[in-house]
Amino acid sequence: MNHPSPAAPVRILVVDDHTLFRRGLTALLMRDASLRVVGDAADAGQALHRAVDLQPDLILLDIHLPGVNGVDALPGLRQAVPDARIIMLTVSEDEADLAAALRGGACGYLLKTMEGDALVAAIQRAMLGASVVAEEMTGKLVAAYRDAAAAPMSSPAPEAAVAEGGAPAIDQLSPREREILRGVARGASNKEIARELGIAETTVKIHVQHVLRKLDVSSRVQAAVIATEHGLR
């Protein structure tokens, strides 16, 4: 599945067990011409079937679902629509839920208390490749990733990454790569970083790939945690 062109609306699947919330959220999102809700689901089983049938570009996924919760549904959804962006949209401010969502591969963690305009903006940023985490949760991000990294079968914590010779891997980044990492830590998309630094978006993409490889991490969220721990914000 290819991501939509800038002119095409983002196709969204809404997953929440509260009917009124699904309807209200759908109405809110459909006000924006750049977004289109193509379906909804009330539980993880329905979500998986709808995801397979609809192949959405983005899934808004609640955590507290009947039966299988949203976090446990992540692996199946990622397998069904590997190119889709998945954002948790929840009332939970629990650090453990945040850690589990990051470990499961969610690209964002937002709270239902956020304003509608902010949600639309977060969706658009996520579709540009940014990781989106609610402002209220950013203070818990480092601890949450440590929890995720410490879980069974997970990779070592990213802050443990070292370059050859024992120096911290972050010290091996070039000045330009450190600038890129600062942008990633702020949650900026490649396009936003490119505009800020006056370079091509494709150049930023290449630098991000180099940063992830040098830090020995697989996602922008993990890189952002390392940047935060080293004061690069």
| pLDDT value at 155 more than 60 | no
The whole-angstrom distance between residue 128's C-alpha and the CA centroid of its chain comes to 11
| pLDDT value at 42 more than 60 | yes
Q: Return the pLDDT at 225.
A: 75
Instruction: Please write the tens of the pLDDT for every residue from 174-183.
Output: 999 999 998 8
Q: Return the pLDDT at 6.
A: 53
| pLDDT value at 14 more than 90 | yes
- Among residues of the chain, what percentage have pLDDT more than 90? 55
> Is the pLDDT higher at 192 or at 22?
22
Q: What is the mean pLDDT of residues 66-78?
A: 94
Pairwise CA distance, residues 132 & 111, whole Å:
11
All residues at 6 or more sequence positions from 100 whose CB lies less than 8 Å from its CB, including other chains: 71, 148
Q: What is the mean pLDDT of residues 125-133?
A: 86
Q: Beta strands of the chain (E only): which ranges?
A: 10-15, 35-41, 58-61, 85-90, 108-111, 132-133
Q: What is the mean pLDDT of the chain?
A: 84
Q: How confident is the model at residue 190 (pLDDT cuts 50, 70, 90)?
A: confident
> Is the pLDDT higher at 120 or at 222?
120
| pLDDT value at 10 more than 50 | yes
Q: How confident is the model at residue 31 (pLDDT cuts 50, 70, 90)?
A: very high
Q: Return the pLDDT at 160.
A: 41
CA distances from 49 to 20, 35, 86, 98 (A): 21, 21, 16, 25
Q: Is the pTM of this model over 0.95?
A: no
CA dihedral 89→46→56→213, nearest 10 degrees, is: 60
Q: Return the pLDDT at 154.
A: 39
Rg of the chain over Cα atoms, rounded to whole angstroms, equals 18
Q: Return the pLDDT at 40.
A: 97
Cβ pair 70, 42 in contact under 8 A: no
| pLDDT value at 114 more than 90 | yes
Q: In order of start, what are the domains of the chain with their CATH numbers?
A: 10-140 (3.40.50.2300), 156-229 (1.10.10.10)
Q: How confident is the model at residue 156 (pLDDT cuts 50, 70, 90)?
A: very low
Biggest alpha carbon distance in the chain?
Answer: 57
SS3 162: strand
Cβ pair 77, 69 in contact under 8 A: no
Q: Return the pLDDT at 221.
A: 73
Pairwise CA distance, residues 1 & 11, whole Å:
12
Token pair 């095409």 is found at 8
Other CB atoms within 10 Å distance of the CB of residue 147:
19
Q: Return the pLDDT at 230.
A: 78
Both tokens of residue 96? 């453990």
Pairwise CA distance, residues 158 & 172, whole Å:
14
